[in-house]
Structure 1
Amino acid sequence: MATLPIELYQEILEHVDRRRDLCSLIRVAQTLRAPAQARLYRAIEVRRHDHTDAFCRAILQATHLGALVLSLTISSDEQWRLGDLWQFQSAMPQVWYNIARALRKMPRLEVLRIKSGPHANENSWVLKECPFLLKEFQCDFTFGNELITFLRTQPRISSMSWIDPDKQRGRSERAIDQSAFLAEGDLPVLRRLVTNSTTFAVAVVPGRPITTLRVLSEAIGENLGPSIGASTGPLHCLDIVFPFHQQEATQRFLSDLVRQAPHLRTLGAIKLRRTNVRQIFDALGALRDLRTLVLWDRVDQQTLVSLEAACPSLEAIVCLFQDGMHGHFVRIPMNPIREPQLVRGRGSSPLEGPITEHVS
């Protein structure tokens, strides 16, 4: 076995899924040590602060391991008792310090996801002096100069998600000065943007080749439409929270989409029961390339027939199968109308995950 080419070892290790097994191979098989380490450290996901700290310390103690990390996800899913929370908060400055030091040892990192949950995350300073050029970046750092400076050094990011921590905690949306944000030429290949901040989307989209935009906010805003029109995309997928209580704003926004994003293929999520259905259908019918429509409604046969007549380009509708925020979501093939297919399970909503990416 020791005479096998390294490529064969790598192929074998691709079928080893359990991290515990990879660790065992590293300890007992000298021949497999290097390829097993590469497989083990290629994609790291840690969801507890003590695990995060342990991982960072391992990178700092064996710096060659940092060069193996291509994808890193750091998030906090922990639930805390009051005493544990105090201990956690007192330990976090050292954890973030170790994260910063470890990131500087990862020159080949391509995917970085850092989320602290509902707590304010003022730690964008950890991105200083990082040697990598990312392709995907997700964070909930508080918006500020350190985050802006980092983004300006990342010309390869094609997918980005920024969640405004203030809005996540129910506060007002943070104001963003577009003139002090990104300069022309920054993020030149950004194609996918996800955010809960309309103002962030308005600041980022113009002049960039955005093809997929998800805005997890009910505030459409009068500037969002023109910003979409200023994308060099063209925009193919738009997933936003249409404000159900603002019928006129929704109808006006959809009408503007015909001009701002004429090549749109996927659109959601719309609630038909609180809108002027005829005007909505007219606007949708004008989107000649529309293939997938996400509805936050149950849909009866008459509505399906009307949509089919109004939108001959439609290939599928994704909609609620039962009333309420939580229910089943089904994909209904269109033109011709066929049997629905379950695409989401109970307990999810169209705003919690990228339904549009599954069906577009």
Structure 2
Amino acid sequence: MDLTLEAYRNIVKNVGSRSDIATLCGVSKGFRYIAERALYNTLFMRNDDETLLLCHTLINSLRLAEYVDALTISFSEDDSTEDSNSTDEGAYEPIQMNWLLVAQALKNTTRLRYLNVHISASEKAYSWIVDEATFQLRKFHCEFDWDHHLVAFLDRQTELEDLFIADYRDDEPDTDTHTPPPLTLAANSIPKLSILECTFSEAAMAIVPGRPVTHLKTCFSHDELSAKREEMYTLLSRIVLSTRPLRSLDIGDSLYTETFSTELLASIANTRSLIAELKHLGTLVLPIDGRERLQFYGLLMRFPSIQSVEFEVTEWDPPPSSPAALRALGGELRLYSPSVVRIIFVQDFERSVVAAVDGICRVDPEISTDLLWRER
């Protein structure tokens, strides 16, 4: 007797492993219909062994390829070559991703919505694998080189809302043979982009204007003060051109200083259109000196909607590393900005979150600091 689709779904959902789900595919047509979708909805490509089998399946079966909703391509050169220096006869050869097969498989995954590409620094010139892809992504984590293949792909994306890019440049190297396509996005491309994470501020300057970006995470490219100050003014002048109010802004820096951080906070506070709905702000150096810290809090008081902030406190001596010290700083900030309910303290790249619950500050180790800027 056949079961209802809901019954099949509940059974498959509670099966413990992918191998057991695969076994269900042979039980009946009803189980196969649901189990295949569960198996192929979310896929991972990690090395040639797994990729070879998976890509051949997607290439040879359009039906199964259309079930793929999320795909992660994850290749780490360090992991794959850890045994490659061995002098034993049985030493392993470095595992290589078969990019041609990946490209052929991607061509068939016409309903893909989420694509994550995590690759090593020496393996980034493979954006051509999406040249023939027709899917419309909602989220794209991309560590490919920024080249004309990637730009052409992004120009075709009309549903993309969430984008991470690890590389950016606005011109193509000279070539003696032809003039390459431009490396700037078309003005009407990625019209729904709302979350942008990019490691180069130049990418934010180029992408945010004219698009509905509400959440931005980027980093300053310069260390020298006058160059970084000019970069700051240009960046702020460009991100206010988003077609929607900014709700989250996180700007990293390779050289954090109290002076520049206070200057950055003041510049943001003086941009009324930028602070109106801003709920998350980072990463700022919290001044050590009490008087300077109070002035710093005074600037934060000008943010009417602020709910979470991220502070760099590495240079504090002694560091505020104990729960009591972190709670005290959180409580001190909330005296001036009671709307703030989460404070992230960064010390030597380690993050601690103080959350205010019913007016009481406590350190909360369960909060994901990597995603907090996306939640506001």
> Normalised by the size of structure 2, how large is the TM-score?
0.80
Counterpart in the other structure of 1:76:
75
Q: Deviations over 1:220-264 (max 9, x none)?
A: 623221122111221111222145444443223222223152111
Deviations 1:21-51 (A, max 9, x none): 1111113444311210011101112323321
Give the stretch that moved more between structures: 271-280 or 232-241.
271-280
CA contact (8 A) 2:115 2:141 kept: yes
Paired residues for 1:1-360 under 5 Å? 2-77=1-76, 78-80=79-81, 81-82=83-84, 87-88=93-94, 91-92=96-97, 95-164=98-167, 175-176=169-170, 180-216=183-219, 219=222, 221-222=231-232, 223-242=234-253, 244-258=255-269, 259=271, 260-262=273-275, 263-273=277-287, 276-297=292-313, 298=320, 303-319=329-345, 324-326=348-350, 329-333=352-356, 336-343=359-366, 353-357=370-374, 360=376
Shift of 1:76: 1.4
Task: State the AA in 2 paired with 1:264.
Answer: L
Displacement of 1:279? 3.9
Counterpart contact for 1:329–1:343, Cα < 8 Å: no
Partner amino acid for 2:344?
Answer: V
Matched-pair contact (CA < 8 Å) for 1:216–1:241:
yes
Distance 2:55 2:374 in 1: 33
Q: Distance in 2 between matches of 1:243 and 1:143?
A: 22
> How far has the Cα of 1:54 moved from its partner?
1.9
- Count of residues paired in the alignment: 337
Give the RMSD, CA atoms, in angstroms: 2.8
- Identical-pair percentage: 24
Q: Is the 8 A contact 2:258 2:287 kept in 1?
A: no
The alpha-carbon deviation at position 337 of structure 1 amounts to 3.9
CA contact (8 A) 1:135 1:159 kept: yes
Structure 1 unaligned regions, length at least 5: 165-173
Letter in 1 for 2:286: L
Q: 1:20 to 1:66 in 2, by over 3 A?
A: same
- Higher-Rg member (1/2): 2
Q: 1:291: Cα distance to partner? A: 0.7
Q: Identify the range of structure 1 (77-86 vs 231-240) with the bigger mean alpha-carbon deviation.
A: 77-86
Unmatched 5+ stretches in structure 2: 173-181, 223-227, 314-319
| SS of residue in 2 equivalent to 1:82 | coil
Query: Whole-Å Cα distance in 2 between the matches of residues 83 and 32 of structure 1?
Result: 47
Shift of residue 177, structure 1, vs aligned partner: 5.1
TM-score between both structures, scaled by the size of structure 1: 0.83
Does the aligned pair in 2 maintain the 1:242–1:250 contact within 8 Å? no
